[in-house]
Structure 1
Amino acid sequence: MGAHEGTTLAHRLRAHFGDADHLYASLLAGMADDWEVGGVTREVFEGWEDAPPQQLPQLRLLAGLFRIVLRGDAPQLEGYYPALGGDLDHHEAWAAVRPVLAAHVEELHEALRDAPQTNEPARSVALLVGLSEAIARTGLRRVRLLEPGASGGLGLLVDRYRFVGDGWAAGPDDSPLVVEGCGAAGFEPVAFDVVDRRGCDVAPVDLSSEAGRAYLTSFVWPWQVDRHARLAAAIEVARAHPVVVDRAPASQWVAERLAGPAEPGVLTVVWHSVTRLYWPADETAAMQAAVDEARSRMPVAHVALEHDWSSAGGGVDPGLPSIELDGEVLGVGDHHGPPVRLS
């Protein structure tokens, strides 16, 4: 039995998508059945049976499987992946997937070490909301942007994307990435100038490499073709305007970045999205302490799009993520960013 409300891993696999009808729901149902009879799924997940729900080992495995498909080592599965042009019935996919799991047990077990890095660029609409409010409160329009848990750095390019919401729009008209359906009725975006931007991650993704681009792609659910198009457009922006993502843990890096003197008239914004669930509690506390310590020396704003896992108990559904500015909830976003509902 697992450690979470007496449920087994099989129960948690089935519960992740519930009654949803898509490829991954079908595969997790197949994996659950296979785990219960001692099949290859049990071997792949060995040691992860009691992982905390927020570690999402099932999504790590599915991404590892997608990477095998992306590199062409499982051509028999491509037809089940709409992002690759597939249109086969996903209800029949498990029978084709199980032999692939058996052929790649070691690789897929290692894939469980890799925390999901969707690096969803549309989540930066939350940064736009938080940033606009911080600028309105401080009057400072010149911004230094810092992102711990930045992955490939796509969340640092908020001013290079175009956002379209309910009665408002922001960003360059000619951006390769246009994020539609942002909601946030009544929102008034504020003009700003990013004078410096930098990120960190314990495992940065190099978007200049084919392997790095495929790695990020593998975490985007394959039937969400629009999200794949968004990612491709954001990568195009990033390749034209590369950002630096240092290899470092969040709290150490934030403390070091905030230790030096700030340029006068510049608002430092520490921003992260859907990363806190992967950080140990002491890491989150240390990063927050670094931000708080810097407030006496420079204008600092802390913007986040994060789920409240503390209210999820032992379950797997933490609800929708909140948009936070210095701990104040400004609204609610969707798991992948838009639409936004302001408080």
Structure 2
Amino acid sequence: MVGFDRGQTLAQRFRAHAGERTHLYGYLLRGMADDLEAGGPVGEVVRGYERAPTGAVIQLRLLAGIFRLVLTGRAPTLLPYYACLGGTASPETAWAVARPVVADHVGELRRALAIAPQTNEVGRSVALLVGLFDLTAATGTRRVRLLELGASAGLNQLIERFRVSGEGWTWGPPESPVQLRDAVLGPLTALGAGRAPVTPGPAVEIVAARGCDLEPVDATSAEGRLRLTSFVWPFDVHRHERLAGALALAARHPPQVDRASAATWLGAQLTTGPDPDTLTVVWHSITQLYWPASEIDAVAATLSAYGQEHRVAVVGMEYPPEGGRQEEPEVRTTLWTGTGAPPRNRLLGTAHDHGIPVRMAGSGPAG
């Protein structure tokens, strides 16, 4: 991932993020950096944000604001550059076309800078599925109550409605609008703590699912759909296909996401236990990176205390704390038996930032 120096100007941050990339956003970011230094309309848009924290990624907020203009038909001259909308134009000339669009929408793009980047990567649900395979194989329990932390719009809660395939297996309804092909590299035989090899199928049943987020997105609203779409880079066509399919499912099966912090919400959810034949699974993906240390500790303490007397599990897809975003996210499960014994912790593999593929531990590098 790109790193930024706190002493950099916004223009320097834009260029650092662009690097030498030759995709649409590379050209747009370099063009915006030049325009900012030249006193053009980009400077009007970002006025007052010059000292924004690097983590605010103002450049991504601005790119998403421009993308929303394209998605809502108010920047037709840019449409040929957006591959996810059928555009095939070469990106080298994109900034010359985008600059007058920025100049014509300074006020709206300024307001766009207040909207924090937020995606709901559907591909990360593959890590959840692999974790559920491991936990159900280890416990013999097929029924799952799913609690998602940092859920965004909660689209990963719809995993039962996605079609997923790995090496020699498929899972989920064949007719699903979300097709996650070649999503797992390596065999699933290591799952389940020494039990029989896992055979993917309808055995995992999610009987209840709910999540929380500090800023939940309503995937059933036009505004929510627009927001999620605008933060997915337009040339990542496969990601847009997955998101569009998940949004179509969400319109018929709305995910449940509460506005709350992870630790507070989780403690409240765990006050009501599931049926004895149902396993509570807490799920989170690429979210702890943004939590303060106190929140991470509070969630861990809540789970540890609850797990001493109740069965509960976690599936996590997070960057290793010692490596940060320079390494691939790890897919791990943790299982408390409720007997006072230490939890079972397992590293199942690693995943791409967007979830696909999940590479099972011991499967070797991708070919």
TM-score computed with the length of structure 2 as normaliser: 0.83
Percent of counterpart pairs with the same letter? Answer: 49
Aligned residue for 1:195, secondary structure, equals strand
| Structure 1: unaligned runs, 5 residues or longer | none
Distance (whole Å) between structure 1 residues aligned to residue 91 and residue 43 of structure 2: 22
Residue 221 of structure 1: how far off its partner (Å):
1.2
Counterpart for residue 291 of structure 2: 279
Structure 1 position 19, deviation (Å): 2.7
- Tell me, yes or no, if the aligned pair for 1:167 and 1:185 is still in contact at 8 Å: no
Residues 221-236 of structure 1 correspond to what in structure 2 (within 5 A)? 221-236=233-248
Superposed, 1:115-194 pairs within 5 Å as 115-187=116-188, 188=198, 190=200, 191-194=203-206
Describe the SS at the equivalent of 2:206. Answer: strand
Q: Which residue, 210, 223, 239 being the options, matches 1:198?
A: 210
- After superposition, the Cα gap between the structure-2 partners of 1:250 and 1:332, relative to the gap in structure 1 and judged at 3 Å, is same
- Let me know the Cα RMSD of the aligned residues: 2.5
Pick closer, same or farther for the CA change 1:189–1:67 going to 2, 3 Å. farther
2:351 is the counterpart of 1:333: yes
Contact 1:3 1:50 (8 Å CA) reproduced: no
Give the corresponding residue for 1:321: 329
Which residue number corresponds to residue 360 of structure 2? 342
> How far apart, in 2, do the equivalents of 1:339 and 1:118 lie?
18
Look up the SS of the partner of 1:163 in the other structure: strand
Secondary structure of 2:331's aligned partner: strand
Alpha-carbon distance in 1 for matches of 2:322, 2:10 = 21
* 1:68 aligned residue: 69
Change (3 A) 1:85 1:144: same
How big is the shift at 1:182?
0.9
CA distance in 1, matches of 2:114, 2:311: 37
Does the CA-based 8 Å contact 1:309-1:318 persist in structure 2? no
Amino acid at match of 2:113: L
Q: Partner of 1:229: helix, strand, or coil?
A: helix
User: Which residue number corresponds to residue 289 of structure 1?
Assistant: 301
Query: Offset at 1:81?
Result: 0.9
Question: Which piece of structure 1 moves more, 190-199 or 302-311?
Answer: 302-311
Hey, what's the Cα distance between the residues in 1 that align with 2:162 and 2:292?
Answer: 31
- Equivalent positions of 1:197-276 (< 5 A) are 197-276=209-288
Residues 159, 194 of structure 1: 8 Å contact kept: yes
SS in 1 for 2:88: coil
CA-CA distance at 1:189 after TM superposition: 5.4
TM-score (norm 1): 0.88
Aligned-partner residue type, residue 170 of structure 1: W
Residues 111-120 or 40-49, more deviating: 40-49
Instruction: Give, in whole Å, the separation in 2 of the partners of 1:310 and 1:108.
Output: 37
| Offset of residue 46 of structure 1 | 4.5
- Cα shift at 1:143: 0.4
Residue 299 of structure 1: aligned partner: 311
Looking at structure 2, the residues matched to 34 and 309 of structure 1 have their Cα atoms a distance apart, in angstroms, of 37
Residue type of the alignment partner of 1:122: G
CA distance in 2, matches of 1:127, 1:203: 22
* Aligned 1:17-28 pairs, distance under 5 A: 17-28=18-29
Letter aligned with residue 177 of structure 2: P
SS of alignment partner, residue 60 of structure 1: helix
Unaligned segments of structure 2, at least 5 residues: 189-197, 335-344, 362-367
Q: Give how far 1:31 is off.
A: 1.9
- The C-alpha deviation readout for 1:257-294, integer Å capped at 9, x for no partner, is 11223321221111122222333332333233322232
Cα deviation 1:77-117 (Å, max 9, x = unaligned): 11211122222221111122223323333433333333322
C-alpha contact (below 8 Å) 1:199/1:245 kept by paired residues = yes
Residues paired across the two proteins, number: 338
Q: How far 1:149 moved relative to its partner? A: 1.9
Choose 1 or 2 for highest CA Rg: 2
Contact 2:18 2:30 in 1 (8 A): no
Q: Is the 8 A contact 1:129 1:189 kept in 2?
A: no
Q: Residues 165 and 181 of structure 1 are in contact (CA less than 8 Å); yes or no, is this contact kept in structure 2? A: yes
User: 3-state SS of the aligned residue for 1:323?
Assistant: strand
Q: State the Cα distance separating 1:164 from its structure 2 match.
A: 1.1
SS across alignment from 1:194: strand
